[in-house]
Amino acid sequence: MKKIREKKVREKKVREKKERVKKINLPKLDLNNKRNNIIVTSVIGVLALVVTIVTGVQFTKFRNFNAEFYTGNVDEIQSYSKYSKYLAGTSGDAPIYILYGDNNTVAVVRASDADKYDTIDKVLEADARVVKGGVVNIDKEELDISAIAKADAATAIDEVKNGTSDIAIVTYADYRAVRDTYTDLTVAKAEIEAVPSILVMGGTHPNEPSGQLAATMFLENAKVKRGVLYVVNEVNRSAYTHSQPQEATSWYYELQTASGQTRTFKYGSRATNTVDQWPTPDVYTHSSGQQLSSSEVRNINRSYPGDEKGTYTEKLSYAITQLVLQNDITMVVDLHEASPEYITINAIVAHDDALELASDAKMWTLDDVMNIGVEVSPATLHGLTHRDLGDYTYAYVFLAETSNASQGKLRGKFSPDLITYKEKDKFYEYAKEYDEKHGTKLLYAPAADIDERVARHTFTVSALIKSFNDMGCVSRTVNVGKIGEREGRYLGKLEIEMVPGYEDIMDNGVGYYLHDLD
Amino acid sequence: MKKVITIIVSVLMIMTLAVSFAACNKDTGNGGNNGGNTDVTPSALDKTVSEAELQNIVGDGKLYATTIGQADLAVVNNLIVKAGVAAADYTSNNMLTADQVEDGSTVFIVVGASGKGLGGAGTDAAAELVRANAFQAKADKINIVCVHVGGSNRRGDTSDPTIRVIAGCSKVILVVEEGNSDDLFTGIANDNSIPLYEYSKSAKMLDSFKYLLGK
Ligand SMILES: [Zn+2]
């Protein structure tokens, strides 16, 4: 009885409300009236213009915003256009940061003589030199250590500067001490000492932030004792100038340095900006003949080895291939992320000739602190670093993946906290709990926060370096490749210090290892 | 009355336990010939293989390493070399077939499949099962050491059929524990009276490799 009464009361209220609404007399808008039509159209037009301008200004700001990086440890900055000339002046012409080892032995010459001494033989024929540091290539007996042999490095360099001698063979640290004042001196092209080198790549996909941050851990912290460190942390810089369409992603995220300074980083797109490469064909045909969907035509990691005159994206990958080839870089690590529901995650994918190194790093270093798999690069999937950069250079090439919720399809609302995963996403957490409870594999790895992801990547690179040193410091012997065979050779150790370890980053956070910027 | 029953049941349980422990020791002691349903439980984690007949199992025969599933062969190569066998002194071949192996040889077979690996090697799970069956057919003429290092990623529909074949015809099974969380390997070891060793990670297998390789 009571319920029926309540129902009637409710129905009455609804009726009354409807009547009230009816009573409001809306002014009749007759759009057939020309004047009304013009007013309405104009208002809509102005509103659209305002929205376009406001978002356009925001987007232009985003497009032009450059994340800044600390380069106090960097010895030399090159750019892509040095290796892929048609990129000059374009947004993708990214910087290549180079750090030379303190103990590398180099021949310092007058800048005008740099090309003259491009081989060791020519160096040996020169007038005077001082030997300092470990010389691997030159038999010391062969060296005509002249009167100044016992002089200190500074004196030797001074003598080159004032014309008393032509060459000073010193350590890179000795040269660095005078580099900025003696700008008319330079390092000769001849390789006085064979040293190993590594290229750390982040930002191949700007929606995979831990790759860029781990590369930045090396850029901003590394002290190279021996060897050469190359860092490219905006591999596809064009893809940093826009965002992923229809994903409603945040454009920026922030991290605090140890002193509390805020560092701002961009979250971009997986693909090259259409401003730089357009139109997009239905099918992307790679130089190998492989055909992929149009979504991959602006993906730099389907375009290796690249093409100087190809698509814009192929010009970018050509720059990387040439960088590795022309400098004979020993190892390359390309740092990526994938969504937690993707199968290849928390993994290293290695080119065939790099598989032994990757396995060694996993077994003897990485297994102690993390769960990580090693996969061989599929021979038939082309355009990826671990395939074609390996096939077209003499480097050991690796790609590593961490688990990034902001790339995934299960995620809820997007925010900078989703990027860093400092605020957990309820759907990914639900999936994780579901997997734990039911032994299923909705996720191949749970979503991880930025500290863990960067710690994994940074430590993976360090572990690969350690394995290179442990396994005899020998460059790659080419068994699988497209540019002919080559025997590995002894290069000595690659010694890079001050890079934070896994526990360091887990304990203190990534921000702690980012430098304050002036 | 209840008390009496409880005591009798307790005594019976203790006796059963004692018997099964004794049986265990016997099984892992001589690698087989256990006359009952007693379990071959894995040794405690990270133990070195200790069955006398497995020491230097290679003997004067030849040594091979391969993968059924196209994954993790590099891990076994790493262990073989670190155990003290020169790379030139054994054959590592990811597509090794049973008829390439001389009688009396020892073959380390890494089991567990990788999709990327299978695709890369231009083979598939069905073809790998054929290879596995051929090794099984020859198992009484060669020594098969079954190794699984890839954890749960190397388990499932693509991996398990070949795992069953190879593990079931091996002389000893070495497995990283995460890959045996459902006791698949334990079951195979039980059914076939094969000694099973579990490790926390692949690097912990090194001493067992040394033992098996007589180093
Ligand atoms: Zn990626």
Which amino acid appears at position B190 of this protein? N
pLDDT of residue A24: 67
Taking an 8 Å cut-off on Cβ atoms, the answer to whether B75 and A359 are in contact is yes
Specify whether B55 is located in the same domain as B18.
no
pLDDT in tens, B105-150: 999 999 999 998 998 889 999 999 999 999 999 999 999 999 999 9
pLDDT of residue A367: 96
- Other beta carbons within 10 angstroms of residue A381's beta carbon come to 18
Specify whether A170 is located in the same domain as A109.
yes
Closest CA to A213 of A411, A461, A423: A461
pLDDT in tens, B190-209: 999 999 999 999 999 999 99
Taking an 8 Å cut-off on Cβ atoms, the answer to whether A376 and B117 are in contact is yes
- Tokens 């020491």, residue located: B55
Q: Is B202 on the interface with A (CB under 8 A)?
A: yes
What does the pLDDT average to over B52-75?
A: 96
| A380, closest residue in chain B (CA to CA) | B120
Specify whether B102 is located in the same domain as B68.
yes
CATH number of the domain where residue A145 is located: 3.40.190.10
Specify whether B6 is located in the same domain as B64.
no
ipTM topping 0.90: no
pLDDT of residue A26: 67
Q: Report the distance separating Cα A153 and Cα A166, nearest Å.
A: 14
Q: Read off the pTM.
A: 0.87
With contact defined as beta carbons under 8 Å apart, do B178 and B45 qualify? no
Domain end residue (candidates: A138, A170, A187): A187
- Encoding tokens for residue A442? 């909705």
Q: No. of H helices and E strands in chain A?
A: 13, 17
Q: Report the distance separating Cα A467 and Cα A4, nearest Å.
A: 80
With contact defined as beta carbons under 8 Å apart, do B202 and B176 qualify? yes
Residue A453 has pLDDT above 70, yes or no: yes
CA distances A126 to A19, A107, A122, A137, A195, Å, are 104, 11, 6, 17, 23
Domain end residue (candidates: A134, A154, A187): A187
Specify whether A277 is located in the same domain as A132.
no
Band of pLDDT at residue B4, cut at 50, 70 and 90: low
Specify whether B2 is located in the same domain as B61.
no
What does the pLDDT average to over A120-132?
A: 67
When CB atoms are compared, the residue of B70, B77, B201 closest to A367 is: B201
Residues near ion ligand 1 (Cβ under 5 Å) = A 205, 208, 336
pLDDT of residue A327: 97
- φ, ψ for residue A183, nearest 5 deg: -75, -10
Residue B42 has pLDDT above 70, yes or no: no
Torsion, CA B113, CA B114, CA B120, CA B121, rounded to 10: -10
pLDDT of residue A329: 98
Q: Indicate whether A9 belongs to any domain.
A: no
Which chain B residues have a beta carbon less than 8 Å from that of A370?
none
Strand partners, A374: A348
Q: Where do the H-state alpha helices sit in A24-33? A: none
Specify whether A449 is located in the same domain as A477.
yes
Which amino acid appears at position B148 of this protein? H
Residue A276 has pLDDT above 60, yes or no: yes
Residue A332 has pLDDT above 80, yes or no: yes
- Tokens 């929606």, residue located: A207
Q: Which of A9-23, A238-252, A499-513 has the lowest mean pLDDT?
A: A9-23
SS3 content of chain A, % helix, strand, coil (to 5): 40, 15, 45
Which chain A residues have a beta carbon less than 8 Å from that of B77?
356, 359
Residue A431 has pLDDT above 60, yes or no: yes
pLDDT of residue B43: 61
Q: Report the distance separating Cα B74 and Cα B63, nearest Å.
A: 16
Please calculate the CA angle A84-A87-A88 and round it to the nearest 5 degrees: 105
Q: Indicate whether A49 belongs to any domain.
A: no
Closest CA to A475 of A228, A306, A233: A228
Residue B17 has pLDDT above 50, yes or no: no
Taking an 8 Å cut-off on Cβ atoms, the answer to whether A377 and B151 are in contact is no
The alpha carbon of A389 is separated from its chain's Cα centroid by a whole number of angstroms, namely: 15
- Encoding tokens for residue B37? 């349903």
Residue A3 has pLDDT above 90, yes or no: no
CATH number of the domain where residue B47 is located: 3.40.50
Q: Which of A295-299, A331-335, B14-18 has the lowest mean pLDDT?
A: B14-18
Q: Which of A32-41, A208-217, A314-323, B70-79 has the lowest mean pLDDT?
A: A32-41
Kindly give the distance from the C-alpha atom of residue A72 to the centroid of ligand 1, in angstroms, as a whole number.
28
Band of pLDDT at residue A246, cut at 50, 70 and 90: confident
Specify whether A243 is located in the same domain as A338.
yes
Band of pLDDT at residue B14, cut at 50, 70 and 90: low
Q: Is A374 on the interface with B (CB under 8 A)?
A: yes
Closest CA to A79 of A69, A89, A94: A94
- Other beta carbons within 10 angstroms of residue A488's beta carbon come to 16
pLDDT in tens, A98-118: 999 999 988 899 999 888 998
Specify whether A112 is located in the same domain as A256.
no
Percent of chain B with pLDDT over 90: 76
Specify whether B80 is located in the same domain as B124.
yes
pLDDT of residue A17: 75
Contacts of A95 (CB under 8 A, 6+ apart): A77, A78, A79, A232, A234
Please calculate the CA angle B68-B69-B75 and round it to the nearest 5 degrees: 80
Q: Report the distance separating Cα B83 and Cα B207, nearest Å.
A: 8
| A347, closest residue in chain B (CA to CA) | B153
Q: Is B87 on the interface with A (CB under 8 A)?
A: no
Which chain A residues have a beta carbon less than 8 Å from that of B203?
363-364, 367
Band of pLDDT at residue A21, cut at 50, 70 and 90: low
Preferred mutation among A346, A360, A363, A444 to probe B, highest tally of B CBs within 10 A: A363
Taking an 8 Å cut-off on Cβ atoms, the answer to whether A355 and B116 are in contact is no
Q: Is B119 on the interface with A (CB under 8 A)?
A: yes
Q: Where do the H-state alpha helices sit in A408-509? A: 416-420, 426-438, 450-470, 502-508
Q: Report the distance separating Cα B136 and Cα B140, nearest Å.
A: 8
Taking an 8 Å cut-off on Cβ atoms, the answer to whether A356 and B150 are in contact is no
Closest CA to B186 of B36, B24, B41: B41
How many domains is chain B partitioned into structurally?
A: 2
- Encoding tokens for residue A350? 């290695």
What angle do helix axes B160-168 and B125-137 make, rounded to 10 degrees?
10
What does the pLDDT average to over A232-254?
A: 95
CA distances B112 to A240, A380, B50, B109, B125, Å, are 39, 21, 25, 10, 10
Specify whether B172 is located in the same domain as B101.
yes
Q: Which of A120-124, A177-181, A210-214, A388-392 has the lowest mean pLDDT?
A: A120-124
Calculate the average pLDDT of chain B.
Answer: 86
Taking an 8 Å cut-off on Cβ atoms, the answer to whether B119 and A371 are in contact is no
pLDDT in tens, B79-115: 999 999 999 999 999 999 999 999 999 999 999 999 9
Q: Report the distance separating Cα A393 and Cα A321, nearest Å.
A: 7
Specify whether A407 is located in the same domain as A505.
yes
Closest CA to A222 of A381, A353, A102: A102
> For chain B, how big is the Rg over CA atoms in Å?
19
Specify whether B115 is located in the same domain as B164.
yes
What angle do helix axes B73-83 and B206-213 make, rounded to 10 degrees?
60
Band of pLDDT at residue B33, cut at 50, 70 and 90: very low
Specify whether B111 is located in the same domain as B49.
yes
CATH number of the domain where residue A380 is located: 3.40.630
Kindly give the distance from the C-alpha atom of residue A65 to the centroid of ligand 1, in angstroms, as a whole number.
22
With contact defined as beta carbons under 8 Å apart, do A259 and A514 qualify? no
Specify whether A241 is located in the same domain as A365.
yes
Q: Indicate whether A341 belongs to any domain.
A: yes
Residue A133 has pLDDT above 50, yes or no: no
Calculate the average pLDDT of chain A.
Answer: 91
Kindly give the distance from the C-alpha atom of residue A400 to the centroid of ligand 1, in angstroms, as a whole number.
9
Specify whether A156 is located in the same domain as A238.
no
Q: Indicate whether A366 belongs to any domain.
A: yes
pLDDT in tens, A354-395: 999 999 999 999 999 999 999 999 988 999 999 999 999 999
Containing domain of residue B22, as a range? Answer: 1-32
Q: Indicate whether A54 belongs to any domain.
A: no
What does the pLDDT average to over A325-332?
A: 98
Band of pLDDT at residue B36, cut at 50, 70 and 90: very low
Q: Which of A26-30, A462-466, B113-117 has the lowest mean pLDDT?
A: A26-30
Containing domain of residue A486, as a range? Answer: 62-101+195-513
Band of pLDDT at residue A129, cut at 50, 70 and 90: low
Residue A193 has pLDDT above 90, yes or no: no
Percent of chain A with pLDDT over 90: 77
Which chain A residues have a beta carbon less than 8 Å from that of B75?
359, 362-363, 374
With contact defined as beta carbons under 8 Å apart, do A334 and A458 qualify? no
Considering Cα of A299, then A303, then A306, then A312, what sign does the dihedral take? negative
Specify whether A93 is located in the same domain as A135.
no
Closest CA to A357 of B107, B175, B78, B100: B78
- Other beta carbons within 10 angstroms of residue A391's beta carbon come to 22
Which chain B residues have a beta carbon less than 8 Å from that of A359?
72, 74-75, 77-78
DSSP string of chain B?
Answer: -HHHHHHHHHHHHHHHHHHHHHHHHHHHHHTS---SS---PPPSTTPPP--GGGTTTTTTS-EEEEEESS--HHHHHHHHHHHT--GGGSEE-TT--GGGSPTT-EEEEEE---HHHHHHTT--HHHHHHHHHHHHHTTTTSEEEEEE-SGGGG-STTTHHHHHHHHHT-SEEEEEGGGGTT-HHHHHHHHHT--EEEESSGGGGHHHHHHHHT-
Which chain A residues have a beta carbon less than 8 Å from that of B117?
375-376
> For chain A, how big is the Rg over CA atoms in Å?
29
Specify whether B13 is located in the same domain as B60.
no
Q: Report the distance separating Cα A282 and Cα A203, nearest Å.
A: 26
Band of pLDDT at residue B13, cut at 50, 70 and 90: low
- How do strand B63-68 and strand B106-111 relate by DSSP bridges? parallel
What does the pLDDT average to over B31-56?
A: 70
Taking an 8 Å cut-off on Cβ atoms, the answer to whether A378 and B119 are in contact is yes
- φ, ψ for residue A229, nearest 5 deg: -110, 125
| B178, closest residue in chain A (CA to CA) | A371
How many domains is chain A partitioned into structurally?
A: 2
- Tokens 């009236």, residue located: A33
Distance from CA of A428 to the nearest CA of B (A): 20
Residue B162 has pLDDT above 50, yes or no: yes
Domain end residue (candidates: A187, A221, A239): A187
pLDDT of residue B5: 54
